[in-house]
Amino acid sequence: ANYAAARVGARTILLNTDLAAGVPKVLEKLHEQYLLPPLHAGWATRRKSNHFKSYEEVAKKFAKLLGMDPWLINPMYAACGEVDFTDGTGLDNVRAQADALLTKIRRKHKEYGISDKPFVVIKADNGSGLGIKAISDAKELDDPALHQRCQRHAALHGPGVAELIVQEGVPTNERVNDALAEPVVYMIDRYVVGGFYRV
């Protein structure tokens, strides 16, 4: 099934889905029960760019209190708008955003003496199924293999239009079996309840 629901108490349904495929019809007309998370918090409506914008505001205030550069705790990003993978419409904007972001990152690396090669990650603004590519040069977006991959994605998942963002790649020293690893922590309220590595 696309979702799993468990009844908690008399009036609350706890969802085990990110709602990336939209809201299941069976949940659309529930008025007497609470849904956690709420339907408007699913990936069908939520955008990473909105989250990053809100986090950026918090990071700037926090960094100002400590007298530090907010970039140290807040990776750069840029929203690119819609791209049509079937004909490539909108890729020029992605290329321009990636190039501009890489230039900014190079300046920061020089300022802080960071020797790692700057890179950005192109990904869907909503959902989690379309991580397109990590690049260190905007010209890599001209790769025919990338266009073929995007067209295959469009053929498998319906219309080839997606909203994209470009996000600064952050170098990591964490490894699992010699592969790069990103820790993910699950929290409920302020309590850590689990986690895993993306490898």
CA dist., res. 108 & res. 98, Å (int): 15
C-alpha gyration radius of the chain: 19
| Per-residue pLDDT tens listing for the chain (199 residues) | 444 444 444 466 777 777 777 788 888 777 777 777 777 777 777 888 998 999 999 999 999 999 999 999 999 999 988 887 777 788 889 899 999 999 999 999 999 999 999 999 988 887 665 666 788 998 888 777 766 766 666 565 555 667 889 999 988 888 899 888 888 998 888 899 999 998 8
| Contact call for residues 98 and 122 (beta carbons, < 8 A) | yes
What pTM does this model have?
0.74
| Contact call for residues 128 and 20 (beta carbons, < 8 A) | yes
- Picking from 132, 79, 84, 123, the residue whose alpha carbon sits closest to that of residue 101 is 79
Which residues on neighbouring strands pair with residue 35, listed in sequence order?
A: 13
